[in-house]
Amino acid sequence: MHLSIGQEAVSVGVCDVLRPDDVVAPTYRGHAAYLAKGGSLRGLFAELYGKATGVAGGKGGSMHLIDMSRNVLGASAVVGTTIPIAVGYALALKRVKSDCVSVAFFGDGATEEGVFAESLNFAALQKLPVLFVCENNYYAIHTPITRRWATNRLCERVATYGIPTYQVDDSDIFKLRQLAASVVADMRRGDGPSFIECRTYRWREHVGPNEDYDLGYRNRDDLTRWLKDDQVERVGNMIADERRVQIESEIDLDIADAVEFAEMSPFPETDKLFSNVFANP
Ligand SMILES: Cc1ncc(C[n+]2csc(CCOP(=O)(O)OP(=O)(O)O)c2C)c(N)n1
Ligand SMILES: [Mg+2]
């Protein structure tokens, strides 16, 4: 699984200003976005275990959290694919004259896919209520943006489509939240798409729970800088000690409950093998 540890502030800063009826399209690194959108901890863990009670019925796993009861459009393992899905949903929202918005989360690597350019153009042309949120963690697997991008000027590239662009380069959750609130309000009024580039950092390896600073593609000093700016710690420090201890123990209990729920849940029935998949026997 692809952990979003270190990148939580992006998901929380954006999702906190959304309404339950707004939709989000997270990526395969989407645990934080799923939970920030009000997702079910039990449903998430059961999905990781491949159990029938998981949000995708145990057939998706970590990379494919889909939960339309929370308006979380299916995440995908294929880089960049949630961008046009979010744009398509925004087109549907506009057609039914809804004031809801659609949010596409994606990585810096996804901006290199052709569909990113197609989606930006179409969303700008049609003035769709879609917020593009790039989680720029500087790497696509092990390759840094310095070896992939001719220039670092991502916001400038996007701006050429006539889309307002913003950059949050220090992961400040309150700055991002305020910005998201303002652009979402504009989008609800029909102002069309916006783009936010959030600089952030993946603390763990690309896939899996371990650290990978011994691989040589990045430096632990970079992590140290981001650890100093950890927004989970920052927000935690704003809460009175007694209350914080209480919140943390409640969360520990919730996690223990979700893990137990997942372990006790059944695997999907074999007669469900061909339901909700494209193939038919
Ligand atoms: C279309 C496609 N190409 C390549 C891959 C292999 N791949 C998986 S993750 C990844 C890196 C994507 O980087 P980024 O978009 O920055 O997301 P991050 O993993 O950093 O969150 C690549 C190339 C893929 N899954 N899909
Ligand atoms: Mg990346």
The per-residue pLDDT for range 74-106, each reduced to its tens digit, is 888 999 999 999 999 999 999 999 999 999 999
CB distance 78 to ligand 1 below 6 Å: yes
Centre of ligand 2 to C-alpha 107, Å, is 5
- Alpha-carbon distance of 180 to 161, in angstroms, equals 20
Which of 105, 139, 141, 212 best tests ligand 1's pocket when mutated (most atoms within 8 Å of CB)? 141
The predicted structure's pLDDT at residue 80: 97
Nearest to 84 by CA among 55, 56, 61, 117: 117
Question: pLDDT tens across 119-139, in order?
Answer: 999 999 999 999 999 999 999
Centre of ligand 2 to C-alpha 199, Å, is 10
- Alpha-carbon distance of 17 to 175, in angstroms, equals 12
Q: Which atom of ligand 1 is nearest to the CA of 113?
A: 1
Which of 79, 112, 113, 218 best tests ligand 1's pocket when mutated (most atoms within 8 Å of CB)? 79
Q: Which atom of ligand 1 is nearest to the CA of 206?
A: 19
The predicted structure's pLDDT at residue 13: 98
The predicted structure's pLDDT at residue 280: 64
Residue nearest to atom 5 of ligand 1 (CA): 79
b/e for 204-213, b at 16 or more Cβ within 10 A? bbbeeeeeee
The predicted structure's pLDDT at residue 281: 58
Q: Which atom of ligand 1 is nearest to the CA of 107?
A: 15
The predicted structure's pLDDT at residue 86: 98
Question: Which ligand has the shortest distance to the CA of 10?
Answer: 1
The predicted structure's pLDDT at residue 170: 87
Query: Low-confidence residues of the chain, pLDDT below 70?
Result: 279-281
pTM above 0.95, yes or no: yes
- Alpha-carbon distance of 269 to 281, in angstroms, equals 16
The predicted structure's pLDDT at residue 22: 98
The predicted structure's pLDDT at residue 85: 96
Q: Which residues pair with 41 in a beta bridge?
A: none
